[in-house]
Amino acid sequence: MGDSDLGGGGGVEFWRAEAERLTAQDVVLRARVVELEGQVGALAEKVSVLAKLAFGTSSEKAARRTRGEDEDDPAGESPGGQPGEQPERRGRGQRRGSRGHGRRDYSHLPTREEVHDVPEGERVCPRCGAGYAPFGEECCEQIDWHVQLTRIVHRRPTYRRTCRCPVRGVLVAPPVGKAIAKGRSPRGSWPGCWSRSSCSPARPTGSSPRWPTTGSTWPRAPWLECSRRARIWWAPLAAAIGDRNAAAAHLHVDETRWQEFAAVEGKDSHRWWCWVFVGPDTTVFRIAPSRSLKVLTEQLGIDTDPDTDTLTLPEGRQVLLSSDFYVVYQILGRLDGVDNLWCWAHIRRYFVRAGDAHPELAAWTAA
């Protein structure tokens, strides 16, 4: 068989070139297979993690055996000795037979004693008439709380002049101080009213305070007016507390969602955020319409370049932030002078997710 029988025209050179082409194509396809296998593995990891997040039990709530059980049962058997059996889950509440904390002691509170005695006419035998003799008493305690409303009538006697001298014709004592002119509430009543009513998490600021012992309510208009004035009165103190908090060397920072029924241009929802900044001796709360880095930079006095959006910490400033692993704290941690102390409960989740995505890492995750 000659060269012409192998393909005609090209002969051996044709098949040699074809083999080289197929070899090169094989290399390309193998590389493509490796690339696709990597993508499949990455997607499988995401599916495993997302499925666990959507349908699995929270890693913080997952049932875990105690250290002693793990040491006594290295084979993974249940306490009853049957492999694969789950240990009996403990019910909620105090366990039967366990020692309780006992009753609290309230002997330091102001005490009023009330005697509930049997009427004298009933302290005799209904058949023979013989009297009952005392031999002790039964006692019990109750803790009560009272809010007492008092109507204060201020009387200011007036005196008229009885002579014709060019002096004041009428004398009267100065009027009493009021939070609002012509209002009925003295200045000293507002702090207690705010602490018991406005600061309650179940009552909005715009709602009038209600006193449970009497059922009385204060008018809404003076209540809101005094709240508005209080913001003006306390503004200098709030600013001083905010400045001292911002200058602290160590801050605990966190944020949570907050419903604020206020219309803001460009914002479709009523979801706001309540930020808290806890320093060594100050605590600052900020209600902000967003959860962005801007809230942190404004509170901590960090300069932002409008052209490059770069952040600059004031010269000589050092701050240690204790927070969760939210992305804005990660961005702030890249600045010189800012160090992060991450919440271990949040960092732990990444170890757990690694074990979920890679079963071969389960032992490493548990360790």
Strand order in the sheet with 283-288: 283-288, 271-278, 250-259, 319-323, 338-342
Question: How far is 24 from 46, CA to CA, in rounded Å?
Answer: 34
* DSSP 8-state class, residue 73: -
Question: How far is 24 from 40, CA to CA, in rounded Å?
Answer: 24
Single-letter code of the amino acid located at 73: D
| pLDDT by 10s per residue, the chain, length 367 | 455 555 555 688 889 999 999 999 999 999 999 999 989 888 888 888 888 777 777 766 665 544 444 444 444 444 445 555 556 677 777 777 777 777 788 888 889 888 888 888 888 888 888 888 988 888 888 888 776 777 888 898 888 888 888 988 888 888 887 766 666 666 666 665 655 554 444 455 555 555 444 455 566 676 677 777 777 878 899 999 999 999 999 999 999 999 888 888 888 888 899 999 999 999 999 999 989 999 999 998 888 877 777 888 888 889 999 999 999 999 998 888 899 999 988 888 888 888 888 888 888 888 8
Q: Which pLDDT belongs to residue 75?
A: 44
